Structure 1
Amino acid sequence: MRVKSILSEGKQIQLATELVKLGARLQVLEASTSLSRERLVKLYKEVRGVSPPKGMLPYSEDWFMGWQPNMHSSLFVNIYNYLVQYAGVHDIEAIIKSYQLYLEHVQVNQLQRVLSFTRAWTLIRFIESNVLSVTPCVKCNGHFLVHSLDIQSNHICGLCHVPSRAGKTKQNSLKSKTKQQCAA
């Protein structure tokens, strides 16, 4: 018979609570804690006030290759790598702290949050399994996310070579029209 530690269980509940607050899906909670699915569902309902969303996690590595998702994902991965290398933070704790810093950066710079916690968690799993990797840009020397099997010798990042439609979202278009109407 396995003896359960109340302190250990409390830490697992605290971790799960923090993950739920950051927007983690149930599958992430199951993979990151030792709590049962039933306990996690109850905890999710208690913290969020609703049942956890159903369905599969986003799993396509191609999502991270779009211009805007790539910029946000590259930012997150660089924060994550820095914390792992220099702050001695690892595993789910490194993902949590990196995501919190990503959210702070987005808020301070008044940017749209593109990367959800679940996608950030998935991104780290893709990197750990060598599906995705980071490579330096030949122009700015910044490190950006790429497919691991792509030829990376002359990679130019999305910031040095911005696509013509980059940043032309519906939201930005509406803001631009509103500013023009106010000026008229």
Structure 2
Amino acid sequence: MPKSVIQEAEEIQLAMELIKLGARLQFLEAETSLSRDRLIKLYKEIKGISPPKGLLPFSTDWFMTWNANIHSSMFYNIYRFMVTHGECEQIVAVMKSYRLYLEQVERYEGEVILDFTRARTLVRFFDSEMLQLTPCSQCQGKFVTHAHDPQIGFTCALCRPPSRAGKTRKVADKVKNERVIAPNNAEKNDNFTVVSKPELDLA
């Protein structure tokens, strides 16, 4: 059955928004029914370059490193809230959540650690039950961990940062005690609070 003009226009608009957020060609093909040639032309028109080649991220280990875990946890908590209360399709929830994540990073003048490709991959890893959110025993924020990792006594990367953390003071000087948005009793009310961690840099 041929697509309607409206449906085709909606898919083009979706593809445009995904490209602007940094989506790879593989994701564009998965989320729309537009032809590969058309997506490539659209990508070149928006970005001015050909879409990058190469495999998509496939390992969960990247999300476990200190800085990546903080940013990934922030994004996924926002995503959970959006899915619960946003009343929108999954891809739209991912896009809205990623924009909010970018706003948070920009607010603290930090570095964007989590690109859109990894953000979308993170959601897929959760859907495949390869990852889970584990509450920190100290701050009660929920952080990305491997599925089936022990939850009792877990301490997050914010409460127990590695020795190299905090060497860059740019963000610490800007935000002092405010560090990362995390859910407060998310299973009960899905409200968000700011976890306070002195002298810690998100960049």
- TM-score with structure 2 length normalisation? 0.80
Partner secondary structure for residue 132 of structure 2: strand
| Residue 94 of structure 2 is aligned to residue 95 of structure 1 | yes
Partner secondary structure for residue 114 of structure 1: coil
CA–CA separation in structure 2 for the residues paired with 1:16 and 1:96? 11
Which residue number in structure 1 is paired with residue 139 of structure 2? Answer: 140
CA–CA separation in structure 1 for the residues paired with 2:128 and 2:66? 22
Which residue number in structure 1 is paired with residue 34 of structure 2? Answer: 35
Return closer, same or farther for 1:87/1:44 CA change in 2, 3 Å cut-off: same
CA–CA separation in structure 2 for the residues paired with 1:55 and 1:91? 25
What letter corresponds to residue 84 of structure 2 in structure 1? Answer: Q
Please report how far the alpha carbon of residue 167 of structure 1 lies from its aligned counterpart in structure 2 after TM superposition: 4.6
Which residue number in structure 2 is paired with residue 119 of structure 1? Answer: 118
**Two-structure CA RMSD over aligned residues (Å):** 1.5
Which residue number in structure 1 is paired with residue 158 of structure 2? Answer: 159
Please report how far the alpha carbon of residue 138 of structure 1 lies from its aligned counterpart in structure 2 after TM superposition: 0.9
CA–CA separation in structure 2 for the residues paired with 1:37 and 1:149? 38
Which residue number in structure 1 is paired with residue 201 of structure 2? Answer: none
Aligned length: 170
Please report how far the alpha carbon of residue 165 of structure 1 lies from its aligned counterpart in structure 2 after TM superposition: 1.3
Partner secondary structure for residue 135 of structure 1: strand
Partner secondary structure for residue 93 of structure 2: helix
CA–CA separation in structure 1 for the residues paired with 2:85 and 2:145? 23
- Alignment check: 8 A CA contact 1:68 1:167 kept: no
Which has the larger share of helix?
A: 1
Which residue number in structure 2 is paired with residue 176 of structure 1? Answer: none
- Alignment check: 8 A CA contact 2:40 2:50 kept: yes
Please report how far the alpha carbon of residue 90 of structure 1 lies from its aligned counterpart in structure 2 after TM superposition: 3.0
Which residue number in structure 2 is paired with residue 130 of structure 1? Answer: 129
Question: Cα deviations across residues 107-147 of structure 1 (Å, max 9, x unaligned)?
Answer: 01111100000000000000000001111111111000000
Gaps of 5+ in 1: 174-184
- Alignment check: 8 A CA contact 1:67 1:158 kept: yes
CA–CA separation in structure 1 for the residues paired with 2:129 and 2:2? 37
Gaps of 5+ in 2: 170-203
Partner secondary structure for residue 144 of structure 1: strand
- TM-score with structure 1 length normalisation? 0.89
CA–CA separation in structure 2 for the residues paired with 1:25 and 1:167? 32
Partner secondary structure for residue 19 of structure 1: helix
Please report how far the alpha carbon of residue 33 of structure 1 lies from its aligned counterpart in structure 2 after TM superposition: 1.1
More off after superposition, 85-94 vs 125-134: 85-94
- Alignment check: 8 A CA contact 1:135 1:143 kept: yes
Which has the larger share of strand?
A: 2
CA–CA separation in structure 1 for the residues paired with 2:138 and 2:56? 35
Partner secondary structure for residue 143 of structure 2: strand
Please report how far the alpha carbon of residue 82 of structure 1 lies from its aligned counterpart in structure 2 after TM superposition: 0.5
Dislocated runs of 4+, deviation >2 Å: none
| Matched-pair identity in % | 55
Which residue number in structure 2 is paired with residue 9 of structure 1? Answer: 8
CA–CA separation in structure 2 for the residues paired with 1:69 and 1:155? 17
More off after superposition, 145-154 vs 72-81: 145-154
